[in-house]
């Protein structure tokens, strides 16, 4: 599917752009109200339950009554913190559920904490859907009132969501898209929903637009977005600084880990619960220790202590009050005095260090990978964003670590903090889109793919090619030539730079016999996570069908089809040759497809349908049916476009990519690691084009 739902007519600029960063603990919303002629990026600070104060983010919390089997939420966000909700005995709080949308994380939670884990993915989806529904209702009220000259229902509004790098496009990102639509986003005719930059990419864009003066041409940045539940890394090069308008090029694939401040909260809750259970055994408490520990972790007192930890005015001892407990309660063994539990600074440090040590290991790994890829380059800046990245203790630990690091490309590295670090992602989403609307170019111009993608095809058999020996051959009844089946033409390779602003153009041919009414042609899109030198030329256990796309050419002008073997003296069978293009737009976390025929786009969304395949591995192939599996090659002189107009020199600052006919050969891969077959894309004599 495409990333849009409904949407205004193409070419019309939006009247409002809204960026949404759904976080583990809190959610941020930034926007640009273009309807009033302003490109200024603002953010929502007034939320239900907190109208009397400015709050940059709203808690990612939804509360249900426990009595109903299929409950509707009783509150969400700050409304969950009212006295009525926090003191009720029949309420069920759902929080920290962001990462559970990923099947591996849900399974891990079910195994480690079966009592509190959701029973199924459907339950997680409900929490997401209900929370986002409440969010949409409020944004329609709040931001709809700020539009000028147009109503919320008729305005051209773009919603841009970020996603963690740890989410797989299928099934997690696709599941997230579905939930977004079910929650109301994109329902109005002129509303558009897209999956935008990953969280680290959005944070990088935010830093480059808010503080362009700190970067110089060719500087390399390592952006670390450390939030509540996940930490994402992205390495980028500054490719332009003209007029303080920074351009960025990604140097390596983005990746992340489940590192975040929510883990500190969780560990603190466990620490408190152990303390209170020990106290309860000695001198009974009037509250369940587990309930009290949860409330103490959620308390403003602890959250303030956590946020201030590592600052100059940090205190060696802090205490947190036990809810519903008299100030006369004392228990020296559990360090409870006057109804409050006392903790040492070192107690909190141990909780922080678990996350910080994992964070340092993650960054070190990225630096080492980058050094192997670019041994002559130095990383100039580590830029921190997100709630955990805003911690003074985390910043101090990183500065200490990289002041004495032995990693060759990190000498002289500076640790910088993003402006408004907790809003970096949602503001970066909007900043990138606004820049594209103004200049037609994104801030992040080139992106490295995290996987390789190709299409299943057949290639013409060449008896002189040793790679073709022993392969299954099938004769095409229309032209009589022999073909190797179940081959793969890789249209983008892992780690290869892909233009954000230009699509990858993939050429196809379909041979149709006279009288054949079929005008919808299927294509299998293949994914492989192996590094580029190891990509197979045919389907293997390392490849999988990502999706099946159907190209509907029923609206195409048949006069544009090429008639072949029409004359009675022609030896071959009479058929029509249909040439068309599928343009592939590879986003940060999803893939979109457009169908083009005769240099025209065949409708906005309906011309391409995508059936995503969730199976982790490729099932045994069915028997070959040449009538439906008929894919052919164009002549060698037919232009083939790769990686969004990569050009003969590749992306700026990247290795040269040579073209030989339509063959794609990456000359940057010199080192042989083990025995590797021909480099991907070199399939027979020429680049395949498909039925």
- Looking at the domain that runs over 16-201, which CATH code has it been given? 3.30.420.40
How buried is residue 83: exposed, middle or buried, by Cβ count under 10 Å (0-12/13-18/19+)?
exposed
Is-contact 390 420, C-beta < 8 A?
no
Gyration radius of the chain's alpha carbons:
28
Q: In the numeric block, which tokens belong to residue 511?
A: 């041979």
Kindly state the DSSP code that residue 610 receives in the 8-state scheme: E
Q: In the numeric block, which tokens belong to residue 306?
A: 């956590």
Helix axes 300-308, 289-298, angle to 10 degrees: 50
Q: In the numeric block, which tokens belong to residue 571?
A: 């030896």
Q: Which residues of 549-588 are buried (b: 16+ CB within 10 A; e: fewer)?
A: bebbbeebeeeebeeeeeeeeeeeeebbebbbbbbbbbbb
Is-contact 157 139, C-beta < 8 A?
no
User: What pLDDT score was predicted for residue 76?
Assistant: 96
Q: In the numeric block, which tokens belong to residue 81?
A: 């913190």
Residues 108-158: pLDDT tens digits? 999 998 988 999 999 999 999 999 999 999 999 999 999 999 999 999 999
Sign of CA dihedral 94, 96, 98, 104: negative
Cα 337 from Cα 321, distance rounded (Å): 9
Q: How far is CA 656 from CA 42, 284, 498, 659, in A?
A: 41, 73, 14, 10
Is-contact 197 222, C-beta < 8 A?
no
Summarize the chain as % helix, strand, coil (round to 5): 30, 25, 45
Cα 272 from Cα 303, distance rounded (Å): 14
Judge if 16-201 and 212-417 fold alike in CATH terms: yes
> Given strand 543-552, what is the order of strands in its sheet?
473-475, 482-492, 452-460, 520-528, 543-552, 608-612
User: What pTM does this model have?
Assistant: 0.78
Q: Which residues face 187 on adjacent strands?
A: none
Contacts of 160 (CB under 8 A, 6+ apart): 17, 18, 19, 20, 194, 195, 196, 429, 430, 433
User: What pLDDT score was predicted for residue 673?
Assistant: 30
Taking 70 as the pLDDT cut, the residues of the chain under it are 1-11, 243-244, 515-518, 558, 564-573, 602-691
Cα 302 from Cα 287, distance rounded (Å): 19
- Of how many residues is the chain composed? 691
Cα 650 from Cα 446, distance rounded (Å): 11
| Backbone conformation region of residue 587, classed left if phi is above 0, alpha if psi is from -120 to 50, else beta | beta
Q: In the numeric block, which tokens belong to residue 618?
A: 């490729």
Cα 15 from Cα 35, distance rounded (Å): 5
Domain boundaries, the chain: 16-201, 212-417, 449-666
Question: Is the previous residue joined to 171 through a cis bond, with omega within 30 degrees of 0?
Answer: yes
Q: In the numeric block, which tokens belong to residue 380?
A: 């100039």
Cα 470 from Cα 464, distance rounded (Å): 12
CATH architecture of structural domain 212-417: 2-Layer Sandwich (3.30)
Q: In the numeric block, which tokens belong to residue 500?
A: 């954000």
Q: Which of 254, 202, 195, 262 is nearest to 230 (CA)?
A: 262
**3-class DSSP state of 562:** strand
**According to the 3-state scheme, what is the secondary structure of 444-463?**
EEEEECCCEEEEEEEEECCC
Cα 78 from Cα 135, distance rounded (Å): 12
In 336-393 the beta strands, taken as DSSP E runs, fall at 336-337, 340-344, 381-385
User: What pLDDT score was predicted for residue 85?
Assistant: 84
């Amino acid at each position: 599917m495409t990333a849009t739902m409904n949407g205004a007519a193409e070419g019309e600029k939006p009247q409002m752009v809204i960026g949404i960063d759904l976080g583990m603990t809190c959610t941020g919303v930034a926007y640009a109200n273009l309807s009033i002629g302003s490109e200024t990026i603002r953010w929502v600070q007034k939320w239900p339950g907190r109208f009397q104060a400015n709050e940059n983010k709203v808690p990612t919390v939804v509360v249900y009554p426990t009595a109903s089997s299929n409950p509707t939420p009783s509150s969400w966000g700050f409304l969950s913190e009212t006295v009525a909700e926090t003191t009720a005995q029949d309420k069920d709080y759902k929080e920290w559920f962001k990462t559970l949308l990923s099947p591996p994380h849900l399974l891990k939670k079910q195994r480690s904490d079966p009592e509190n884990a959701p029973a199924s993915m459907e339950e997680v989806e409900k929490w997401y859907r209900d929370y986002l529904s409440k969010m949409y209702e409020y944004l329609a009220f709040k931001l709809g009132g700020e539009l000028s000259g147009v109503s919320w229902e008729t305005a051209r509004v773009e919603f841009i969501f970020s996603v963690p790098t740890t989410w797989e496009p299928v099934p997690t990102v696709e599941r997230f898209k579905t939930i977004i639509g079910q929650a109301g986003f994109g329902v109005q005719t002129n509303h558009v929903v897209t999956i935008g930059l990953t969280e680290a990419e959005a944070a990088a864009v935010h830093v480059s637009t808010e503080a362009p003066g700190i970067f110089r041409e060719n500087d390399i940045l390592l952006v670390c977005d450390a939030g509540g539940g996940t930490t994402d890394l992205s390495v980028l090069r500054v490719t332009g600084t003209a007029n303080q308008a920074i351009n960025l090029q990604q140097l390596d694939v983005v990746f992340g880990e489940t590192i975040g401040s929510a883990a500190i909260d969780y560990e603190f809750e466990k620490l408190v619960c152990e303390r209170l259970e020990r106290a309860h055994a000695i001198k009974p408490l009037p509250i369940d220790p587990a309930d009290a520990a949860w409330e103490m972790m959620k308390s403003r007192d602890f959250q303030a202590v956590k946020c201030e930890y590592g600052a100059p005015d940090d205190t060696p001892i802090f205490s947190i009050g036990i809810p519903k407990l008299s100030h006369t309660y004392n228990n020296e063994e559990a360090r409870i005095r006057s109804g409050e539990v006392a903790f040492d600074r070192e107690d909190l440090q141990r909780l922080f260090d678990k996350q910080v040590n994992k964070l340092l290991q993650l960054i070190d790994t990225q630096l080492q990978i980058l050094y192997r890829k670019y041994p002559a380059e130095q990383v100039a800046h580590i830029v921190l964003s997100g709630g955990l990245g805003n911690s003074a203790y985390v910043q101090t630990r990183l500065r200490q670590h990289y002041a004495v690091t032995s990693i060759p490309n990190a000498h002289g590295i500076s640790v910088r903090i993003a402006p408004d670090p907790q809003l970096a992602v949602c503001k970066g989403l909007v900043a990138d889109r606004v820049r594209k609307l103004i200049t037609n170019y994104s801030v992040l111009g080139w992106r490295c793919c995290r996987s390789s993608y190709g299409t299943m095809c057949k290639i013409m058999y060449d008896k002189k090619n040793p790679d073709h020996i022993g392969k299954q051959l099938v004769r095409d009844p229309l032209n009589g030539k022999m073909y190797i089946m179940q081959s793969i033409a890789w249209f983008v390779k892992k780690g290869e730079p892909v233009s954000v602003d230009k699509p990858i153009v993939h050429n196809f041919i379909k041979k149709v016999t006279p009288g054949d009414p079929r005008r919808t042609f299927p294509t299998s899109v293949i994914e492989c996570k192996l590094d580029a030198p190891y990509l197979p030329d045919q389907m293997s256990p390392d490849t999988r069908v990502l999706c099946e796309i159907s190209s509907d050419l029923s609206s195409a002008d048949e006069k544009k089809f090429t008639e072949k073997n029409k004359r009675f003296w022609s030896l071959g069978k009479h058929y029509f040759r249909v040439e068309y293009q599928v343009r592939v737009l590879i986003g940060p976390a999803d893939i979109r497809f457009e169908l083009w025929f005769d240099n025209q786009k065949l409708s906005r969304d309906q011309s391409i349908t995508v059936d995503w395949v969730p199976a982790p591995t490729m099932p045994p192939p069915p028997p070959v049916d040449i009538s439906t599996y008929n894919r052919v090659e164009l002549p060698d002189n037919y232009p083939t476009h790769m990686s969004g107009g990569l050009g003969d020199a590749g992306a700026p600052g990247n290795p040269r990519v040579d073209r030989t006919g339509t063959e794609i050969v990456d000359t940057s891969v010199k080192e042989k690691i083990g025995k590797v077959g021909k480099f991907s894309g070199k399939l027979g004599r020429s680049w395949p084009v498909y039925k």
